[in-house]
Amino acid sequence: MDKIAVLVPCYNEGKTIEKVVTDFKRVLPEAVIYVYDNNSTDGTAEIAAKAGAVVRHEYYQGKGNVIRRMFQEVDAECYLMVDGDDTYPAESAREMADKVLERNVDMVVGDRLSSTYFEENKRPFHNFGNSIVRWGINTFFKNDIKDIMTGYRAFSYRFVKTFPVLSKGFEIETEMSIHAIDKNMFVENVVIDYRDRPEGSVSKLNTYSDGIKVIGTIVRLFQTYRPLAFFGTVAAILMVLAIGFFIPVWITYADTGMVPNFPTLIVCGFVALASIQSFFAGLILQTMYRKNRQDFEMQLHDCYARKLEAEKKN
């Protein structure tokens, strides 16, 4: 088991990867630098190997797929994940790693949004999207993570080995944040300086398609982790619609004793039934969710036991 493992997912970062590896080797000389190449065509893997990194490959395209591979293959007391585009300063790595190693923090978030991100990033829709996502996650899940989508994070062994990677692409950061909140992990923020990509380095993010994926991920995870709130909201909306359409029918019946809009009455009944079904579906799923939380706590005990066994072998 490594003491500190620096994990660098890469796709065509040949212009910057050498500097990233060199910087982190300088700041964290005891760390092992792992570069996971995701089908790069610009020599990223070769450049990283020459710079002294341990180079591995993930051939299934997508950042989420790369992170799944990294988390499965690498064992360490502290994991530091950083993008290979040289937008995150290595100088913050020591502080982030120390929080994991000395304070038992499960996830340290490299907070760009509280420092230079909005000045350095030249894509206004990215700035707006980051703010919206941060507000949405912290509102729906009752937390105060300062930067939901940052690619600069430090993790504990138990976070990495209990995190189910479901997303395939860049929405993986959102999934990490929600997992940490939901599983009551110890999360801290470290303000970092952000710098935009150097000239010639191209972002792989698509503002609109990736933004839609992130929003879809938030909705999906809200349904998964807060089922009663999600289906309860759906139930309330359906019941309001049913009552809204039923009132005119009832007024007409009260005045004339007749129901001329009989199809509307039938639809109101079905919508009301759908509302009741949605509410009870939320109750059932909430019970299942609580059982999953209990199982997860037992999984944490098993994870800790495996860590102790690995440390004894070392």
Least confident of 67-76, 155-164, 287-296: 287-296
Is pLDDT above 80 for 211?
no
209 in the same domain as 242: no
Q: Considering only CA atoms, which of 108, 210, 128 is closest in space to residue 169?
A: 210
Collapsing DSSP to helix, strand or coil, 311 comes out as helix
* Cα angle 14, 18, 24; round to 5: 135
181 in the same domain as 234: no
Least confident of 91-95, 216-220, 230-234, 236-240: 216-220
Instruction: Return the pLDDT at 202.
Output: 59
Instruction: Return the pLDDT at 155.
Output: 96
* Cα angle 294, 295, 299; round to 5: 120
Burial readout 40-65 (b: 16 or more C-beta within 10 A, e: otherwise): beeebbebbeebebebeebeeebbbb
Token pair, residue 49, equals 């190997």
Average pLDDT, the chain: 87
Q: Considering only CA atoms, which of 78, 62, 69, 1 is closest in space to residue 35?
A: 69
Specify the residue for token string 């940490």.
180
Tell me how many domains the chain contains. Answer: 2
Within a 10 A sphere around the Cβ of 288, how many other Cβ atoms?
10
CB of 116 closer than 8 Å to CB of 196? no
241 in the same domain as 192: no
Q: CA-CA distance, 26 to 91, in Å (whole number)?
A: 9
Token pair, residue 133, equals 């996502």
Average pLDDT over residues 304-310: 73
pLDDT tens, residue by residue, 95-125? 999 999 999 999 999 998 887 676 666 565 5
CB of 78 closer than 8 Å to CB of 155? yes
212 in the same domain as 293: no
CB of 303 closer than 8 Å to CB of 106? no
201, 222, 243 - which closes a domain: 222
291 in the same domain as 144: no
Instruction: Return the pLDDT at 124.
Output: 57
Q: Are strands 32-37 and 54-57 parallel, antiparallel or unpaired?
A: parallel
Average pLDDT over residues 266-294: 92
Instruction: Return the pLDDT at 59.
Output: 94
Is pLDDT above 70 for 142?
yes
165 in the same domain as 126: yes
| φ and ψ of 147, to 5 deg | -145, 100
Residue type, 202: V
Instruction: Return the pLDDT at 203.
Output: 60
190, 222, 254 - which closes a domain: 222
Q: CA-CA distance, 167 to 175, in Å (whole number)?
A: 7
Q: What percent of the chain has pLDDT over 90?
A: 51
Three-class HEC string of 120-172: HCCCHHHHHHHHHHHHHHHHHCCCCCCCCCCCCEEEEHHHHHHCCCCCCCCCH
80 in the same domain as 37: yes
Instruction: Return the pLDDT at 127.
Output: 62
165 in the same domain as 128: yes
Instruction: Return the pLDDT at 200.
Output: 61
247 in the same domain as 176: no
222, 250, 285 - which closes a domain: 222
Instruction: Return the pLDDT at 210.
Output: 63
Instruction: Return the pLDDT at 153.
Output: 96
Q: What percent of the chain has pLDDT over 70?
A: 90
Q: CA-CA distance, 94 to 10, in Å (whole number)?
A: 22
Least confident of 139-153, 238-252, 299-313: 299-313
Higher pLDDT, 267 or 117: 267
Collapsing DSSP to helix, strand or coil, 5 comes out as strand
Distances 152 to 190, 247, 254, 259, 264 between C-alpha atoms, Å? 10, 55, 65, 63, 55
Instruction: Return the pLDDT at 197.
Output: 64
Element (H, E) at 167: none
Instruction: Return the pLDDT at 169.
Output: 77
Is pLDDT above 80 for 196?
no
Q: Which residue segment(s) compose the domain that 58 sits in?
A: 2-222
pLDDT tens, residue by residue, 49-95? 999 999 999 999 999 999 999 999 999 999 999 999 888 999 999 99
233 in the same domain as 214: no
Residue 214: give its domain's CATH number.
3.90.550.10
